[in-house]
Amino acid sequence: MTHSLHRYGTEESLKSDYTFIVRACQVNREGCAPKLQKLFQIFLSEGPVNIGCNSVGKGTIANGLDLKELEGAFDRTLRFACVFSSKDKVKRVLKKLKAADAGISITIGGLISEIEEMAKESGIKLHTANISLGLFGGKKALLPDDKVLGTTTMCGHGLIATRLAKKVIEKIEAGELALKDGAQTLAKHCPCALFNMDRFEVMLDHKEEKP
């Protein structure tokens, strides 16, 4: 599950960006709905920035998803995803997941040093680690600027268009669009529920060092 892996930004901005993908697989999908519902309630209890599933209703809470509708569809969707901006919330989620012992695959994304630290604190042994090594070769000068890349790479399916992100950022910086409204506008284009509105606001509100 690497579509959440290549989030572009500085180490500082990525410290407030934690993604989760929860998914039943071929061997445990039968009768998995109650387990997914239990896990879903664990994540909701800590208030994720964004949560949803692209095959149910409006997809994400950024689009007005009915959470009850999603919870009632786990027997056929078999999955959901969410994102947090608080390390403390993630720590509490991991401890609750450990206690639940649901037997469902969960992928967490973030800075590897932080993930390892939190997993150890929670008594969780990491199964596999995928690491994004950054950009190498090619005509990198043709890439959009850091703010735009940081924005578009928060949608794992690449459905936040570069031109849209650039236009929204320009309007915010010109005072023509409120920061929160701009974040919500962009989040509506991300069906995977992994666009972090809080992180977008931080990126636009503070100057950051080069990634």
Residue 45: inside a domain, yes or no? yes
In a domain, 128, yes or no: no
DSSP state of 80: E
Residue 87: inside a domain: yes
Range of the domain at 95: 11-122
Is the domain of 16 the same as that of 95? yes
- Does residue 130 lie in a domain region? no
- The answer to whether residue 131 sits within a structural domain is no
> What is the pLDDT, as a whole number, of residue 205?
83
CA atoms 92, 97, 100, 101: torsion sign: negative
117 shares a domain with 145: no
20 and 99 share a domain? yes
Read off the CATH number of the domain in which 78 is found. Answer: 3.30.70
Q: Evaluate whether residue 191 is within a structural domain.
A: yes
Instruction: Tell me the pTM.
Output: 0.93
Final residue in a domain of this structure, among 74, 95, 122? 122
With respect to residue 39, please indicate whether it lies within any of the assigned structural domains: yes
Q: Is 211 a residue whose pLDDT tops 60?
A: no
134-183, pLDDT tens digit by residue?
888 889 899 999 999 999 999 988 999 999 999 999 999 999 999 999 99
Give every CB contact of residue 162 below 8 A, 6+ residues apart in sequence: 144, 148, 152
In this structure, the answer to whether residues 46 and 92 fall within a common structural domain is yes
The one-character DSSP state at 198 is H
Q: Which amino acid is present at 101?
A: D
User: pLDDT for 69-126, tens place per residue?
Assistant: 999 999 999 999 999 999 999 999 999 999 999 999 999 999 999 999 999 999 998 8
Q: Are residues 147 and 185 in the same domain?
A: yes
Domain identity same for 105 and 154: no
Tell whether 92 and 194 lie within a shared domain: no
My answer on whether 118 and 43 are in the same domain is yes
Domain boundary among 122, 156, 183: 122
The encoded tokens of residue 70 equal: 């999603």
Q: Write the DSSP string, 156-187.
A: TT--S-HHHHHHHHHHHHTTSS-HHHHHHHHH
Q: Compute how many other C-beta atoms are within 10 angstroms of the C-beta atom of residue 41.
A: 12
Coarse DSSP helix, strand, coil percentages of the chain, rounded to the nearest 5 percent: 45, 10, 45
Number of domains in the chain: 2
Whether residue 25 is found in the same domain as residue 99:
yes
Which parts of the chain are beta strand (E)?
18-23, 50-52, 79-84, 105-109
Residue-level pLDDT at 134? 84
Beta-bridged to residue 51, according to DSSP, are 82
Do 32 and 111 lie in one domain? The reply is yes
Q: Has residue 52 got a pLDDT over 80? A: yes
Q: Give the Cα separation of 23 and 32 in Å (integer).
A: 10
* 96 shares its domain with 165: no
| pLDDT at res. 29 | 83
